[in-house]
Amino acid sequence: MQLLSSVVIDKLSRQAVYLQIANQLMSLIRKGTLPSGYRLMSTRQLASMLNVHRRTVVLAYDELLAQGWLESHVGNGTFVAKNFPEIKLSRSDEHTKKQIKPSKKAGFEVPILSHLNRSVLKSGTGLHLDDGFPDARLAPLEELSRAYRSQLLTGNSYARLGYGDTHGSLWLRQELSVYLNETRGLNTTIANILIVRGTIMGLYLVSAGLLKPGDNVVVSELGWAGANNNFLQAGANLLTIPSDDYGIDLDALEKLCLKQPIRLLYVTSHHHYPTTVALRADRRVRLLQLAEQFGFIIFEDDYDYDFHYLSKPLLPLAGADQAGMVLYCGSFTKAISPVFRVGYLVGPENAIAHLAKLRRIIDRQGDTILENALADLLQNGVIQRHLRKSLRVYRQRRDLFCELLNMELENYVEFQVPDGGMAVWTKFDQKIDLPLLAQKALKKDLYFSDGSAHQQYSRIKNTTRLGFASSDPHELEKSVTILKNLI
């Protein structure tokens, strides 16, 4: 009886009482306090001692019987198991007398991925001139909710809610194929489309599936760290080329190609990230020619194709790619909202089949219900209508925001009105301490990036992206007023 005197119940604990008892008994067995072959008191006795219901102690004993810590001999009682291996005490057991906590630190070696240290986006502020995100308030959420419900509840649940195709929902691929062909001048079939969880997964699959350590990957000096991280993680060697008002510099690219084999080029052709400029038509033709000539993959990240405000719909490179050099990636992240992790990787059939194999071991399949709900909205034109509306609204916001910048911050900022996208590439006067300004703004409930992410690979200083799409006119005015007051 004495041996069990240390058992205590914490009624305030999150842990069920029977588990508390079981765990403490287990601990006593492991420590040798309750030796092998020891006969435990009856459940009635222990219940009375602990002032709990007998059923609770029965549960605890059952637990330990089941786990093999105890043995029950019919008509004879319950004993600490005999053929139990002797257990060495570890020091922490002796000290703590408590439940085992998972250690904070692993007992095995954990590598450092220092190239993957990225600052995390803030989205807790009331105001935000962000990296160029959409306004979820415009999104067809009611329609999406109904479509999701319908996909969840209607039809044969075994087929619909079971394992599906790693390539993504067939229905969504069919709708996307039509949609991409119509809106982007592509000519896809479903075999050219792999549904991914946003552009980032497209990049990951291509990096992990098509790059070998040491492969040369060309990115813009001034580009997107998110893409670079993926190439670096795959062991690629990053080479950079400059970009100007018409996109990436293809003379520089050709020089690189003449010096060494290039495996992949990453380009945001429609709106260069972060500067927002479009890759000019002649460069597009030449880029495809270079890819064919030197045999490199073009990863075309078309992250905000849908939002272009001039009478200039620049069709993706992918639509003019005859030699199968382009992997084209887009998503609903910017078109609807970041939370909907559905995108599409478009490319030659064998490349898509290969990348789908890899995707199968990463997360098996996408969100079939959401994918089907989006297919429903595409088929019924809901997304198309949403995009037309958003385009109109964002154009107005762009115009207002640029006007506000001109009026209120005239002497402090330089920028070009962007032809497309959801952010203005804004250069602040050199006298302004941008990181400090960003910190002060945060205290006024306004988030914007201090641009440090863009200054890694280039001579860019004091320049950042200010997103206008996610704020309504009133919010844009308040945001600019805050900036004005702080400067």
418 counts as binding its own copies under rule CB under 8 A: no
101 counts as binding its own copies under rule CB under 8 A: yes
Q: How far apart are CA 167 and CA 366, in angstroms?
A: 8
Min dist. Cβ of residue 138 to its own copies (A): 9
48 counts as binding its own copies under rule CB under 8 A: no
230 counts as binding its own copies under rule CB under 8 A: yes
- Residues 102-131 interacting with its own copies (rule: CB under 8 A): 102-108, 110-113, 116-118, 120-121, 123-124, 128
- Provide the CB-side half-sphere exposure for 117 (13 A, CA): 3
Output 105 or 474, the one with its CB closest to its own copies.
Answer: 105
With contacts defined by CB under 8 A, how many residues of the chain interact with its own copies?
150
**Could you tell me which stretch among 43-51, 192-200, 265-273, 397-405 binds its own copies (CB under 8 A)?**
192-200
Q: Is 95 exposed, middle or buried (0-12, 13-18, 19+ CB in 10 A)?
A: exposed
Q: How far apart are CA 104 and CA 188, in angstroms?
A: 49
- DSSP string covering 78-116: EEE-SSPPP-PPPHHHHHH-SPPPPPSS-SS-----GGG
Sorted by sequence, the CB contacts under 8 Å of residue 436 that are 6+ apart come out as: none
- Residues 56-95 interacting with its own copies (rule: CB under 8 A): 62-63, 65-71, 81, 83-88, 90, 92-93
Q: Which residue among 31, 77, 100, 407 contacts its own copies (CB under 8 A)? A: 100
224 counts as binding its own copies under rule CB under 8 A: no
- Residues 261-280 interacting with its own copies (rule: CB under 8 A): 263, 280
| Residues 324-363 as x/- pattern, contact with its own copies by CB under 8 A | xxx----------xxxxx----xxxxxx--x--xx-xxxx
Q: How far apart are CA 212 and CA 374, in angstroms?
A: 35
- Residues 288-317 interacting with its own copies (rule: CB under 8 A): 289, 291-292, 295-297, 310-315
DSSP 365: S
281 counts as binding its own copies under rule CB under 8 A: yes
- Residues 428-487 interacting with its own copies (rule: CB under 8 A): 470
- Provide the CB-side half-sphere exposure for 166 (13 A, CA): 14
- Provide the CB-side half-sphere exposure for 310 (13 A, CA): 11
Peptide bond into 435 cis (omega under 30): no
Q: Which residue among 9, 49, 254, 286 contacts its own copies (CB under 8 A)? A: 286
Output 85 or 214, the one with its CB closest to its own copies.
Answer: 85
Q: What angle do CA 461, 465, 467 make, to 5 degrees?
A: 165
**Could you tell me which stretch among 141-149, 269-277, 425-433, 449-457 binds its own copies (CB under 8 A)?**
141-149
